[in-house]
Structure 1
């Protein structure tokens, strides 16, 4: 609070330091003010941006007279001469279709127009933020061409491009003001948790293809750049408040609230400061999918081994003689968390320009905290999750040097599946529950004459409640804990349930609790220099980066039981670009070398060609070849997590011995000569295990013919999993961009990606005894085959690479045209396809998770009449298969319609907006296991937008 008051004091005191400024106003041909126009002093980096009423105030040190250039998306640029500081500048802009003529930086780390970009690129600017039909600009990214969203929570949405989509997308990078805002422990972006506010967005640029040649590891399938407004050029106090409602079949209708404030000022030509604060709260898209993951009917009434997708605790199952496989009752996800979402974001920065040139020094601190839900192998409630970033950067016209730290704290986050398991275990142990079930089943069937299904339901009622009408049954008590509860199930909503859930949520021991701990960090630095002012025959850049990971989960996620685990990565690159053929042909070539502490070095070359045809050079053809690579994540290497039905074990060599667990051997295994307990570690998973598909085939064959053990055993395949290594992609792309008749924008592209050493996970069954690689010996009672028949085996998820050929290809087309006066229509289409033969690696799960066909359209008019505009968006996708470690299933095709209207009051610098998403549509899903997405309505007021 003291820091906030300090900044507010600075802003209100800044008038005493104000310099003489050039003032003016910018309007369009209809005399309406134009927001977000860039005013730049020619030959310097000094500038300003117009406010909602079209006015600007430009502070400059340039001696009179000088020229200023006025540029804005959709208008012809204008230059005018300034003769006096008292001169009133009035500029009238003429419209021009320039969507593909914007300036971008990300594609080549140097300013260039979208038309001349060597690769596919999408952009969102201040005007697009204003007109987005989504509740926030980040949600609005879903309407960009090439973008596919995956929604795990109303506040956790993941950007994906060009296939292999997931909730935690480690193949896609997101930079905010140059900082990678991936979670240090999870290695993927948590949506916009530590991102930007709508009122602080300067521009967003999206590269949908491989970008490792310039940006290193993990810029594999795409990269998103979010750039904030500079306080030297965007000054003043801006604020917004947004209220609305969400509506979902499961959750009902609930309030949605979002507010933010931005404060920025330049005290003089040398010093400027900025602060942002945002708060959002809503009700979750509640996940309540009850489909059975074990087959059969939905619900325990007709299926005693029922395992509901969003019911946790019913995964605990055992085989009971004369009954069959039986699962515990479990709890619904909606009962295991409060289903409330909130988010707090804040950032503070100080900007120094110490000399009479373009050098700027920036100190920045960003933080984000809140509650959301993440879906990985399980569903995780991220409660009071906190992440911060601290940056120091020095940048100029031709260089930047940047260093930052990302730090996170898991807060009160917990695994909801383990919460369900261990809440029910607090009422009654698994052993006692299944004993009570078996006893009640047998007696009710024999004594009461119930049929099998009625006896099963009777047994479940007794095991859950200890109530046995008609039978004199006494529930089991835990002999190791005589004071334990008598075993009555805790019903959701009861004080007993709340107390049990709180106990489990606060315990990081997954055998008893569900809390996960994490205080991991990333330390990163970047440097880049452009020699364009020193070398004239070509534009040459050099740069590099260094990074250290520090994993600190106290053994709850990683195998860091004895202290934090650290490892380093670094990379260097160079790029050269040159124009030929009267500046019609642009050739760009670059190469990067990256080295991770745990892996061999990797070279990433890129070469691209752009040819500009036509008298106005407005027909631009491009072709590029580039490579990308992805280092195995911290989890791929060092995770050691017991998820109950299976355990996750990372494949760093030292991690194989760091992870170990002691397991109970079955009575049959002990009778055969095994010890009552065995200790298993990662070496068992990687070196002494069978592939899970072959184990499932073995079990099916044995069930069909129990006497033919040898025949069933012939189906078993030893896994012999190789340790993980970096994956690579070779990406080929061609494209065409043009603006025709200053009215029609065309953007076409096609790509082909070939993957090598594709990273994936495999499920294997490690046996408690026996050698899976030894010749089969059925006369040995401790043969690994018998370990399988006695269920003396442990399922592991291991991390490796496939040797199978994996490739993907696709194409996209985008058209935009003003169809009548200021009415603009845009349509784009994307086709995506996976090329993979499952027979090459039967156990490999690609997780392509991408619809083959996607269509998006927009129709709007920013100036329908004075100060009033509207916009609509429509999205459609074909159905597709979703594969993940949590659940597989088909995502149906869906059509989504969003719309908004806005009204500006330039005199008072006000912008009113009313919008809705999924208008008239049914609830739809983007991730199997996550909540269905309903409708959202909102109204907002922005002051000084």
Structure 2
């Protein structure tokens, strides 16, 4: 035994004596430390990683001389000969000439170079974050190829790729450190509310197009991965401070402030922790579009049924004899909110490496709190909206297992349309207002002899303000003993009555009197992946899966969950294999995934792709892929039950049709015993919307025929029964080809083309349900004939329903991206994208595709990170053609736009700091990206980033 211990001791001593420690530092061309660089002994598997200050310690059993190789994403690899163990190694890495050689993980869930990715991929690294011309890295994503932004607010921007854009984009997924940061209730991402800060970004990867085979149901149009910095690699206290101003025609010039702090430390090689905090404050891009949503001129003078796009309260409308359709006077959006935007987000994480390998255990908590504007079917002021995520994850070189929970609280958020409606009603009920209008119209016409237009304006002034100069007082709703009641006059904006009414309404969740909505929804999610590459040599095999439960809890203000939270679940599993052939020139990747949602049949999503590397140095890379994607109907598609005033949203889950109901008033004419003899009220539910309705398009044509003098039976020929099926998952078959190359190590070329075929394309349709009668086309049938009376008397309800179209829908597009070093360190880039929708509206006249994408987009950039010592600059330009925007809030044309952004920066190595001065939309006019949202103005900012 003693002899054994002696030999064992000598064995370990010989190992320890044979180990050599090599120290060094890695910097970039500006002398700044490069954290996270890999140092490898050539011909061995020994690896070291640089710390936050660029330093490293490499322990090896080899004796000098030997060579080491230093690599880092975004830099050209460098080799150096180590001749002595006492040698202080100093390595300078030069910036990568082309981004196509950078390493990405998202395309195949395994590390690979962009050049050899089987699908189109865009990437932003630490270097690009530093040089972005936008105020934040997230805003800077708009300059990536294929990316389209839809701006609802200065702090709420939605990313989209390859068509079918929306403010609430449920077709695009966003993962932050592996967590889906979509809103549990809304099912889409709220910009960067709970994302990353500029100083904690390690990398951003974007996959345009379908990715369901690896990432599940919602990776339908694309997916964005945001990965934060490891506290083991990037340590110390970092901070940034930004100040600037925004300028918009409506809002004027206002301050912009942004601050961030990051603290990270590794207490040992086994334990580290990290904390981030960010705060931003600005003034909103005020929405002040006054175009009429009911046709006719802008303003009530000459258009008594005026409904301004960004005015609310004027949606209350009724038909008055001798006048026509009349709406109440509305309030501007800018008067119904304070137009202030702020956000605060923080995250805290603990990191454990229990063994001498790459296994890491992470506990993380993230939260975001903010006020912004969201545009859906209405415009919503999100006030102190709160969202949090908590995660536990174990990951290693070949696997990960994670579970997390997302929860949100709507805070003091409210619907601005209902705020306007109910501020009006707080002053005077709709019944009283329209009664006053009708009586004063008749009296002014008879007594004063005013023409119809002047009488209408006179009547509006009386109904709004109780003013009737030149007319005798007549009995009306707001006269008591011959004295006008001033309390029923319209509230003046800024008055104590107005402020008091608005403050009360935005805290009341009853939409008949208030505007507040409640939301305490949650998502519970778990997923896992294992790569067998170290166990199987013939191919690289991965398997994984996920499970999710939704918990909707709006207390009946959004969903039909008035009797308690609604829950439903889904799960999925996948497998992927990849293999190299033909002397590693041909790479084949194939995967398949199965997903099952509680309310729908299971779906199988296959994907197969090929990459062939031609040329002596394998620099010409051709790729082709076929994959399917699918999208389950969202929680709103299934369970929403929301009265929006002019129409109601009703989800199409079978049980939801009867859960939603409302009591509606029947017109006095229809109650006449000598006529229809209808009851005073009717109760309508989702069955009326999905089973007994006409298409809204055909009802609009019916109304036009009636207005032109046609009788009901003649006009009835225009009516079309709505054929609305309950919603089911939509699918896409995506075909893509592409080519990537690097010529002479300084010219990058990336070309791609795609063709998508959609089955069961999911969107919304507008239908009109009559209060009485059975819809049809046989108007000799008494029950069907009743629907004509209902439509004529305006006894009808407009619904927005969720459904699929049977019509053929497809899209195609292609893109070209070029970048080149042109003179010294100047780099120029340009990319072009084309997108086209193929859909015959005649196949489904009432269906809204919402493609919302310009046919042509061009983006260009020029920059030099080393214009002279420590000084760099970058500039971007974006241009797109005009395109038609469709949404549940409003339709309209988005004009052709050209936007120019630029920044200059100066590095101070002694202080490990960077000063930046930047501006967006330089010299440009205010422009819009979403019909109904505020026009985007100009913004300039100055920042100081300290990153030791």
Q: TM-score, normalised by structure 1?
A: 0.94
Q: Which residue of 1 aligns with 2:56?
A: 58
Shift of 1:700: 1.9
Paired position in structure 2 for 1:555: 556
Which is worse superposed, 714-723 or 821-830? Answer: 714-723
Show the counterpart of 2:180: 180
Tell me whether 1:756 sits opposite 2:759 in the alignment: yes
Alpha-carbon distance between aligned partners in 1 of 2:485 and 2:384, rounded to the nearest angstrom: 32
Residue number in structure 2 paired with 1:516: 517
* Alpha carbons 2:262, 2:274 under 8 Å: kept: yes
Answer yes or no: is 1:738 the counterpart of 2:741: yes
1-side partners of 2:262 and 2:27: how far apart?
A: 25
How far has the Cα of 1:569 moved from its partner? Answer: 0.3
Closer, same or farther: CA 605–45 of 1 in aligned 2, 3 Å: farther
Correspondence for 2:366? 366
Residues 162 and 26 of structure 1, relative CA distance in 2, 3 Å threshold: same
Counterpart of 2:443 in 1: which secondary structure? helix
Q: Hey, what does 1:865 align to over in structure 2? A: 868
Shift of 1:36: 5.2
What's 2:15 paired with? none
Q: How does 1:489-508 map to 2 (within 5 A)?
A: 489-508=490-509
Offset of 1:33 from its aligned partner? 3.5
Between 437-446 and 331-340, report the one with greater CA deviation.
437-446
Q: What's the secondary structure of 1:491's corresponding residue?
A: coil
Kindly report which structure 2 residues correspond to 1:928-943, keeping only aligned pairs within 5 A, or say none: 928-943=931-946
Given the superposition, is the C-alpha separation of residues 669 and 827 from structure 1 closer, same or farther in structure 2, using an over 3 Å criterion?
same
Q: Which runs of 5+ in 2 are unaligned?
A: 1-19
Q: Per-residue displacement from partner, 1:747-789 (whole Å, max 9, x unpaired)?
A: 0000000000000111111122211148423656972222211
**Counterparts of 2:234 and 2:623, CA distance in 1:** 35
Q: 2:289·2:310 contact (CA, 8 Å) conserved in 1?
A: yes
SS at 2:99 equivalent: coil
Residues of 1 paired with 2:242 and 2:368: CA distance?
A: 19
In 2, the alpha carbon distance for the partners of 1:45 and 1:316 equals 73
1:315 shift after superposition: 1.2
| Residue 263 of structure 1: how far off its partner (Å) | 0.3
Q: What residue in structure 1 maps to residue 93 of structure 2?
A: 93
Query: Hey, what does 2:895 align to over in structure 1?
Result: 892
Distance 2:30 2:381 in 1: 52
Take 2:164 and 2:899, find their aligned partners in 1: how far apart are those partners? Answer: 22
- Displacement after TM superposition at 1:64 (Å): 7.7
Deviates more, 1:774-783 or 1:358-367: 774-783
Q: 1:915 to 1:49 in 2, by over 3 A?
A: farther
Q: CA deviation at 1:258?
A: 0.1
Match of 1:610 in 2: 611
Q: 1:678 deviation in Å?
A: 1.2
Measured on the aligned residues, the alpha-carbon RMSD in Å equals 2.2
1:473-492 deviation per Cα after TM superposition (whole angstroms, max 9, x unaligned)? 36844799x99973111111
2:527 equivalent to 1:529: no
Q: Which residue of structure 2 aligns with residue 8 of structure 1? A: none
CA distance in 2 between partners of 1:310 and 1:731 (Å):
38
Match of 1:674 among 659, 674, 678: 678
Give the structure 2 partner of residue 10 of structure 1: none
Cα pair 1:385 1:409 within 8 Å, conserved? yes
Contact 1:348–1:365, Cα closer than 8 Å, also in 2: yes
SS in 2 for 1:486: helix
User: Are the equivalent residues in 1 in contact too, given 2:210–2:222 (CA < 8 A)?
Assistant: yes
Residue 295 of structure 1: aligned partner: 295
Distance in 2 (alpha carbons) for counterparts of 1:218 and 1:842: 27
Equivalent position of 1:590 in the other structure: 591
Larger mean CA deviation between 228-237 and 686-695 belongs to 686-695
Deviations 1:521-567 (A, max 9, x none): 00000000000000110000000000000000000000001000000
Whole-angstrom distance in 1 between the partners of 2:767 and 2:92: 69
In the alignment, the residues of structure 1 paired with residue 572 and residue 84 of structure 2 have an alpha-carbon distance, to the nearest angstrom, of 50
| C-alpha distance in 2 between matches for 1:479 and 1:298 | 32
Deviations 1:423-462 (A, max 9, x none): 0100000111111111222222222222222222221111
Counterpart in 2 of 1:424?
Answer: 424
List per-residue Cα deviations over 1:351-380 (Å, max 9, x = no partner): 000011110000000000110000000000
Whether contact under 8 Å (1:859, 1:871) holds in the other structure is yes
Note the C-alpha offset of 1:884. Answer: 0.4
- Which residue of structure 1 aligns with residue 768 of structure 2? 765
* Structure 2 residue aligned with 1:874: 877
Quick one: distance in 1 between partners of 2:774 and 2:892?
35
Per the TM alignment, residue 697 of structure 1 is displaced from its structure 2 partner at its CA by 1.6
Distance 2:398 2:93 in 1: 31
The reply on whether 1:915 has 2:918 as its aligned counterpart is yes
Look up the match of 1:803. Answer: 806
Instruction: Report what 2:395 is aligned to.
Output: 395
For residue 663 of structure 1, report the CA deviation from its aligned partner.
1.0
- Residue 668 of structure 1: how far off its partner (Å): 2.6
Instruction: Check conservation: 1:530, 1:542, Cα contact below 8 A.
Output: yes
Report the alpha carbon displacement of residue 78 of structure 1 after superposing the two structures with TM.
2.3
Q: What SS does the aligned partner of 1:788 have?
A: helix
Contact 2:809 2:839 in 1 (8 A): yes
Helix, strand or coil at the partner of 1:346: strand
CA distance in 2, matches of 1:935, 1:727: 39
**1:803-842 equivalent positions in 2, closer than 5 A:** 803-842=806-845
1:696 equivalent in structure 2: 700
Displacement of 1:272: 0.3
Q: TM-score, normalised by structure 2?
A: 0.94
Distance 1:483 1:601, change over 3 A: farther
Partner residue in 1 for 2:540: 539
CA drift at 1:673 = 2.9
Cα contact 1:31–1:92 (8 A) shared by 2: no
Tell me which residue corresponds to 1:7.
none
Where does 1:567-582 land on structure 2 (aligned, <5 Å)?
A: 567-582=568-583
Output the CA distance in 2 between the equivalents of 1:591 and 1:507: 49
- Give the CA deviation at 1:735: 0.2
Aligned counterparts of 1:735 and 1:781: Cα–Cα separation in 2: 56
Change (3 A) 1:252 1:463: same
> Of 685, 689, 700, which aligns to 2:689?
685
Q: Which position in structure 1 is the counterpart of 2:6?
A: none
Q: Is the 8 A contact 2:231 2:274 kept in 1?
A: yes
Cα distance change on mapping 1:487 and 1:181 into 2, 3 Å:
same
Could you tell me which of 720, 724, 728 is aligned with 1:725?
A: 728
1:224-239 alignment to 2 at 5 Å?
224-239=224-239
| Structure 2 counterpart SS, 1:714 | helix
d(CA) in 2 for partners of 1:44 and 1:415?
A: 60
Aligned mates of 1:285, 1:318 — CA distance in 2? 33
Pairing of 1:707-722 with structure 2 (within 5 A): 707=711, 709-722=712-725
1:610–1:305 CA distance, 2 compared to 1 (3 A): same
1:67–1:764 distance in 2 versus 1, CA, 3 Å: farther
3-state SS of 1:182 partner: coil
Distance 1:521-1:394 versus aligned 2 partners, 3 A rule:
same
Distance 1:37 1:362, change over 3 A: closer
2: distance between equivalents of 1:78 and 1:141? 30
> What displacement does 1:75 show?
3.5
Tell me how far 1:323 sits from its aligned partner.
1.6
**1:32–1:867 contact (8 Å) kept in structure 2:** no
Distance in 2 (alpha carbons) for counterparts of 1:858 and 1:355: 46
- CA 1:915/1:669 → structure 2, altered by over 3 Å: closer, same or farther? same
Aligned partner of 1:38 in structure 2 is 37
> Can you list the C-alpha shifts for 1:501-527, whole angstroms capped at 9, x where unaligned?
111100001111000000000000000
Cα distance 1:188–1:483, how it changes in 2: closer, same or farther (>3 A)? farther
Query: CA deviation digits over 1:882-930, x for unaligned, max 9?
Result: 0001000000001000000000011110100000000000101100000
Greater mean alpha carbon deviation, residues 471-480 or residues 458-467 = 471-480
Q: Is the 8 A contact 1:97 1:739 kept in 2?
A: no
Partner of 2:666 in structure 1? 665
Moved more, 710-719 or 606-615: 710-719
The answer to whether the 8 Å contact 1:49/1:234 transfers is no
1:76 alignment partner in structure 2: 76
Corresponding residue number in structure 1 for 2:12: none
Q: How many residues align?
A: 920
Instruction: Write the distance in 2 (CA, Å) between the matches of 1:864 and 1:851.
Output: 35
Q: Distance in 1 between matches of 2:350 and 2:501?
A: 47
Question: How far, CA to CA, are the matches of 2:522 and 2:617 in structure 1?
Answer: 50
Deviation at 1:664, TM superposition (A): 1.2
Please list every run of 5 or more consecutive structure 1 residues that lacks an aligned counterpart in the other structure: 1-19
